[in-house]
Structure 1
Amino acid sequence: MKKKLNKLYNINLSKSLIIFIAAIFYTNIAYSQSNTGTISGRMILKDNEYTQGATVKITSLNKITTTDSDGAYEFENLPFGTYIVDIRLSGYEPAEASVRIDESNTKVTLHFELVYTSHKLEEIVITEGGNRFARKESEEVSKMDLKNMENPQVYTVVSKELMKEQLITDYNSVFKNVPGAGISEIRNQGRSSNISRGFPTPQLVRNGVSSFTYNAIDPANLERIEVIKGPSATLFGSTISSFGGLFNRVTKKPYDYFQGEVSYSAGDWDLNRFTADINAPLNSTKTALFRINTALHSERSFQDAGFNKSFFIAPSISYKVNDRLTLLIDAEMSQSNATSPTRLAPFSGPTATVTSITEMQIPYNLSFANNRVNYSGQQYNIYAQAKYIISDEWTSQTIVSRTRSSAEGYTMAMVILSDERIRQAVTSQENPYYGTDIQQNFNGDFKIGKLRNRVIVGLDYYSLRTTRNNATVNLPPMNYKNPGEAYNNLTEDRIKPLFASARFTNFVSNNERTYSAYVSDVLNITERLILMAGVRLDRYYNKGVYFPNLDSLAGNYNQTAFSPRFGAVYQIINQKVSVFGNYMNGFNNVSGSDFLGNTFKPNQANQIEGGFKFDFNKISATLSYYNINVTNITRDDVENPDFQIQDGTQLSKGFELELIANPIRGLNIIAGYTFNESKYTKANENILGLRPTTAGSPRTANLWASYRLTRSAAAGLGFGVGAIYGSEYYQTNTATFKFSIPSYTVLDASIFYDQPKYRIGLKVDNISNEKYWSYRLAAQNPTRVTGNITFKF
């Protein structure tokens, strides 16, 4: 009986404890619910449009979110109290507000209106939602405050958010996201170029001015890359832009709060990469700001030989002297040691039977190089800027850019002598480049009557000087299919004696200066109808090639060129849908004269283009058709074989499509497709009517789609898939011989987990192990796995 009573007592006691605990639990829930609240609202731009991807923070609670495609944000279950809510978006002035949550105010609505700023680009951290890749507003593209929908020119922006998501560890991989860019052509010293509208376009522009970086570029300091399409000499000059456009590297700038991150990436072929990005105000008033980016990088080739090691550092500081004057200076400096990139010339003699790189059957994993045969590189870029607010309508911008790039050591090229034999040619060189660009710009934004004018008036001085001291030796030929012991002939010990008897040539290969003046006006006829007109005047001096041993100067000449541009935009739906058209001009200086002694004129490229732009919250797109006609091309003078005449022409036309979409929350898509038809319309008989080999693939496509969870326990987890495609193109294309490079389709994939304090990522490039080649017939990377961990603070 006693046991039964004890058992009943225990049961009742257990029930009582459960009821008591449950009561406490539900009381706590009720208490917590009654002592918490929410803060929600929208972010609005000054034109009353919503935008997505803005970072919203409550620092005291370590909470962070981003605005969605409707510009909305929300914080839930916040304890009673007073909080500072901070909101930031790249290119806009940050904003903050103080709010209080209490019994009488549990649901707080807080809207923000942000105003565009030309003084700084704020660092942002995106952890969820929003169209993260759709930020296209930039002052560098037109050297003025002009929105994408108001601009009659086409351009693409690759943001640092996209680079981070794709685990970009080398600069050239960025161009997978640029419609029509193709496979990067990497040259000696690591410098590279890509295709734009059928024309090779080198990497010569940094923050809107000349930056002759002839070494490899590290992506650690990139805020974004702006790809400006079409001849752009009017605002940027002929020395840094091609007839197809230009690539502008926009670097990271200081901002007014402390933040930083350190990151480590590792992958196949001994990839080790450490980067750091630290930003901090230097004083309590936040008028002096400092930022530093650095990278330590090393990796080897997937082939038997080849490597790249580099150290990069980029400090920058800005100082707001007063409400009118702001100073900025930044620098990029690097040291590198690497083997020469592959450079292979096919056999095109009368007995040639191999007409493609695949038919050639050169072993994909053999480099025909040696790690002891390498070079050292050094480069610095110094950029100084002074911005002064003259009045409410006028601003002054003074820029000084200084660059030095050099390479010392051995570079190598390979020549195919027959359908089976190859010869290596090694160059010993000392080759520094010195560049200077000084610009003075005046920007005006004013009205004449009811017509708004946005004007830039500028002066530009540019100089480039290059010296060379080099010699080249040839090694004995070998069978490239079965090289045997001859493969080991390329060693430092064996080539040094060859240079002992080689002739070194010391000469000044470039010594040129350009003095320019330009003006451009964007005129609002109505709020929706916008006209643009501009012109540039260039006076170019080329002092020619100087050989000091002979005290001889050759090829010196002077030229003057005009470069006009016109454009029109009509916004069918204001800031949403616009139709545009433009006339753009570019030019290249040409030395020499014809048989009659007439000095050659600059090449001229004239583009006519039209298309549509769309910019909605969930989708933005650009569709355009262009026609570029190049004149004043030199060709052989049949009647005077030792001379040339200047009546050649070339045509490049096609259409481009770029799409950036956020169809559902968490899903982001960026895609592009291009078609380009290029041909010589008046030229030597051997190439007349044919596509230039430097024009790249006629058809290209690119895609990147990523999805991340945004509202669950696994928020921040995501994955991405990507692809690039290029149709068949030619390394040699003449009436008598053609050597082709096959089409390619390369697939990539990634998975990542992104949180406010850290990020973990894994990327697989070239999943299908596709074999593909660049224009220089360099074999590209097979399947590669890269992992990354980033700590944020």
Structure 2
Amino acid sequence: MLLNTRYLRPFLIFTLIFTIFTSTVQAQSRDTLLPKQLDSVFIRSHFRAKDKSSFQSARINIRDYENPQVTASVGTNLTKNRNYFTQTSMLSNATGVTPSWAGVAPYFTIRGFRTRSNFRNGLNAYLQYSDENSNIQQLDVIKGPSGTLFGGTNMAFGGLINVLTAIPLDSAFTNFSLAAGNNALHRTSIEVNTPLDSGHKALFRMFGTYTSRRSFQDQGLNKNLFLAPSFSYQLTPDLKIRMEAEFLNRNTTNSPLFTPANPKTAAGPDNVQYSRGLELDYRKSYTDNSLLWKTSSLNFYGKISYAISSNWQSETNFASTYSTSNGDYQTNLLVNNNAAVARKVLRYEAEDMSNNQVQQNFIGNFKVGNWDNKLLVGLDYHRYSYAANYRSAGYVDTVSIAGHSAAANLFNADLVRNIVLSKQPSNSVAPQNAYSAYVSDVIKPNDALTIMLSARYDRLINFGTRDVLTAITTADYKQSSITPKIGLTYQLIPKTVTFFGNYMRGFQNIAPMSSNGILYNFKPQYGSQWESGIKIAVPNNVLDLTLSYYDISVSNTVTTDPNDATKYLQRGKQYSRGVELDVQTEPLQNLFLHAGTAYNNSKITVGDAAVQGLRPVNAVPKWSATWYASYEVSVDKVSKWNIGFGGNYVGQDLIINSRNAGSFYTNAYTLCNGNIGYTYRQLQCRFTAENLFNTHYYYGGRGFITAGSLRQCILSMGLHF
């Protein structure tokens, strides 16, 4: 039985007091690893993936056994030899992460809350509508409401996804690869790394990728051109700069999205309540390849590291992203007891998004008495702007699932273009600024105990949504929030077995709402987490295990007034509780094993009458699991074979759940994948198969479901020189 929060909180408090006042205070040797060195430690093999994650999640140079937070890391051990070309594929190996709403770019669910890959090197610098992974060194899923160090913009209460990009290395090499597969998949990529001067102070690295593929269904395509140059320069022994850019040009049809009919009907028999009961043609997309979504994105990232002294470091980070998109966005509604598809299209003339962020951190290592301190003090400015100019074609037509209609073949971009000519355009701009200050101190009273104390103040100024046509601005507001984070770790066996616990808080800003001429202003919505668990890291990669129990409580959710449905109250509450277990091991030389499982229990405790007491939609499935095993065998000194097998289990996922509409869920499914590869000197060949047994399944979120991809086989060849 899961621990109850009322027992967990006193246990954490007692443990903190007990370990401080009963342990012998011993002086610890000072850790002189400053953040200016972190770029280089990424390529040192003795630094584990989770240690790299700890540097990012804490913004301080601490190891995983000193970090009271849980991070699921997807690095080299889980990705090599597997022909992974997307972040979605990589995240299938992260414990507790399941696919959610498909859209144009994928969403995921973590600990009962939906999010996507929003952060790049710790900043709000994601490449819009991108799932590309060619320049990604590692993906980190930082669990829990991490508002203290990451703010409220793009942060979900269940956790966040942070991309660690590859950095220039002090060597010269080139990687070139070609890949092809069914569904007309073709991909070519090149990576070039070289020093630019004789002193090896200036380093350059470049990734370039072109991908083209079609859907397993009758319609659907995706074409990507991606370029990512990066540059680093050691100006002086104490001053280093790093600059990166990403460019994406993408033409794609959006993933087929279907909203099922409400299972509960006012009269007559109920509709279908689960995805397997639908009679949709699995290989039919109900769209057309002329309905394209076109995106151009440009992303800049920079970092300046300066060693003020042997104990103090200045780190300045900045990011600027801009994307512009246009095209047709289609959604589908199942009608007539799920017997027909009503197709709706929005025609965007332009959708523009921009992010600009500047972050200044000061990091220090010092002692107070015999207690070591690692202190972070930071300031953050973030500006985000969203502009959309579109016309709605409404529901263009309704197509019977069972029969064939000649009129259905007329559904294309020309038809939509003619319809929207007479429609009123919607053209709006919505900018906002966020100003933040935060502090975090990691204290070591002795070699075994680490205490983290953190807090953040955030001020949001939302300038509202301005209608470009009428010049009227609505829903402008200002909100302030304070979010703390407290954590501890205690090494029961030094650097091997660690107990950890944390309390952390995150926030999401809520815009005003109006009803019957009354404007309602709200406070931020808060999510608070209590978590406790154990981390085991046996040397030489013999065992790496994390077991944790979490309890997330959400408050200040907006609901309708139970006494007057035209009014709003900010009284809603819900919880998300669960257990996660992640295990990695290399029990034998060249044998790697990974397994993870997650359980989640979520409920709306205070809400509208239709949903109070029920499990919320968009929550993660109750049960999920991931596993992978790989083995490598050498033939001789210049050649070797490798083989791997893995998979995922995703439980039932609620898409509709209310007393009025009934419940609809996607059925549980299991996917398996395999890979085999051969390496001879600098040449590497790989063959992989995703969804090995051609399983039919649906996944989704936000009220939509999407058919999952069928078997995808890929043969690739790579050359390193």
Normalised by the length of structure 1, the TM-score is: 0.83
**Aligned position for 2:560:** 636
How much has 1:593 moved relative to structure 2? 6.5
Alignment counterpart, residue 296 of structure 2, candidates 378, 390, 393: 378
How much has 1:591 moved relative to structure 2? 2.1
Q: Could you say which structure has the greater relative contact order, defined with CA pairs below 8 angstroms and 6 or more residues apart? A: 2
Alpha-carbon contact 2:36-2:313 (below 8 Å) kept:
no
Q: Answer with 1 or 2: which has the greater Rg.
A: 1
Partner-residue secondary structure (3-state), 1:174: helix
**Aligned position for 1:106:** none
Question: What is the CA deviation profile of residues 165-193 of structure 1, one whole-angstrom value per residue up to 9, with x for unaligned ones?
Answer: 22102221111101111125322xx3222
Tell me whether 203-212 or 752-761 shows the greater mean CA deviation.
Answer: 752-761
**Aligned position for 1:143:** 59
How much has 1:133 moved relative to structure 2? 7.1
How much has 1:597 moved relative to structure 2? 6.9
1:425 matches 2:333:
no
User: What are the residue-to-residue correspondences of 1:173-572 with 2, within 5 Å?
Assistant: 173-187=89-103, 190-348=104-262, 350=266, 352-419=270-337, 420-429=339-348, 430-473=350-393, 474-508=395-429, 510-572=430-492
Amino acid at match of 1:634: V
Question: What is the CA deviation profile of residues 501-546 of structure 1, one whole-angstrom value per residue up to 9, with x for unaligned ones?
Answer: 11111111x3111000000000001011111100000011111111
Alignment counterpart, residue 652 of structure 2, candidates 728, 741, 749: 728
2 CA distance for matches of 1:782 and 1:192?
A: 17
1:686 matches 2:610:
yes
Tell me whether 346-355 or 270-279 shows the greater mean CA deviation.
Answer: 346-355
1:785 matches 2:703:
no
1 CA distance for matches of 2:510 and 2:68?
A: 30
Distance change in 2, residues 1:606/1:543 (3 Å):
same
Alpha-carbon contact 2:111-2:620 (below 8 Å) kept:
no
Question: What is the CA deviation profile of residues 655-694 of structure 1, one whole-angstrom value per residue up to 9, with x for unaligned ones?
Answer: 1001010011111011110000011011111111111110
User: What are the residue-to-residue correspondences of 1:65-214 with 2, within 5 Å?
Assistant: 117-121=37-41, 138-187=54-103, 190-214=104-128
2 CA distance for matches of 1:443 and 1:202?
A: 29
Alpha-carbon contact 2:652-2:666 (below 8 Å) kept:
yes
User: What are the residue-to-residue correspondences of 1:574-723 with 2, within 5 Å?
Assistant: 574-592=494-512, 599-616=521-538, 617=540, 618-710=542-634, 716-723=640-647
Alpha-carbon contact 2:51-2:62 (below 8 Å) kept:
no
Alpha-carbon contact 2:183-2:215 (below 8 Å) kept:
yes
1 CA distance for matches of 2:151 and 2:422?
A: 43
1:774 matches 2:699:
yes
Q: What 5-or-longer segments of structure 1 have no aligned partner? A: 1-45, 48-91, 94-114
Distance change in 2, residues 1:131/1:589 (3 Å):
closer
Question: What is the CA deviation profile of residues 762-781 of structure 1, one whole-angstrom value per residue up to 9, with x for unaligned ones?
Answer: 00111111111121311111
Partner-residue secondary structure (3-state), 1:140: helix
Question: What is the CA deviation profile of residues 248-304 of structure 1, one whole-angstrom value per residue up to 9, with x for unaligned ones?
Answer: 011111011112211111111010011111110000101100000110000000000
**Aligned position for 2:20:** none
2 CA distance for matches of 1:422 and 1:557?
A: 40
Partner-residue secondary structure (3-state), 1:120: helix
Q: Percent identity?
A: 29
Question: What is the CA deviation profile of residues 100-144 of structure 1, one whole-angstrom value per residue up to 9, with x for unaligned ones?
Answer: xxxxxxxxxxxxxxx9931335558x9xxx999776554212111
2 CA distance for matches of 1:711 and 1:637?
A: 71
Tell me whether 596-605 or 434-443 shows the greater mean CA deviation.
Answer: 596-605
2 CA distance for matches of 1:221 and 1:545?
A: 35
1 CA distance for matches of 2:36 and 2:241?
A: 19
Partner-residue secondary structure (3-state), 2:225: strand
Partner-residue secondary structure (3-state), 2:707: coil
Partner-residue secondary structure (3-state), 2:92: helix
Amino acid at match of 2:408: Y
**Aligned position for 2:24:** none
Alpha-carbon contact 2:466-2:472 (below 8 Å) kept:
yes
Q: What 5-or-longer segments of structure 2 have no aligned partner? A: 1-27
Alpha-carbon contact 1:611-1:622 (below 8 Å) kept:
yes
Normalised by the length of structure 2, the TM-score is: 0.91
2 CA distance for matches of 1:494 and 1:195?
A: 36
2 CA distance for matches of 1:673 and 1:709?
A: 29
2 CA distance for matches of 1:777 and 1:594?
A: 31
Partner-residue secondary structure (3-state), 1:182: strand
Alpha-carbon contact 1:635-1:644 (below 8 Å) kept:
yes
Question: What is the CA deviation profile of residues 410-433 of structure 1, one whole-angstrom value per residue up to 9, with x for unaligned ones?
Answer: 111111122212111111101010
Question: What is the CA deviation profile of residues 41-85 of structure 1, one whole-angstrom value per residue up to 9, with x for unaligned ones?
Answer: xxxxx99xxxxxxxxxxxxxxxxxxxxxxxxxxxxxxxxxxxxxx
Partner-residue secondary structure (3-state), 2:414: helix
**Aligned position for 1:13:** none
2 CA distance for matches of 1:116 and 1:552?
A: 48
2 CA distance for matches of 1:607 and 1:599?
A: 26
Amino acid at match of 2:653: Y
Amino acid at match of 1:366: K
1 CA distance for matches of 2:612 and 2:330?
A: 32
1 CA distance for matches of 2:563 and 2:127?
A: 42
Tell me whether 476-485 or 498-507 shows the greater mean CA deviation.
Answer: 476-485
Alpha-carbon contact 1:623-1:656 (below 8 Å) kept:
yes
Alpha-carbon contact 1:234-1:536 (below 8 Å) kept:
yes
How much has 1:327 moved relative to structure 2? 0.7
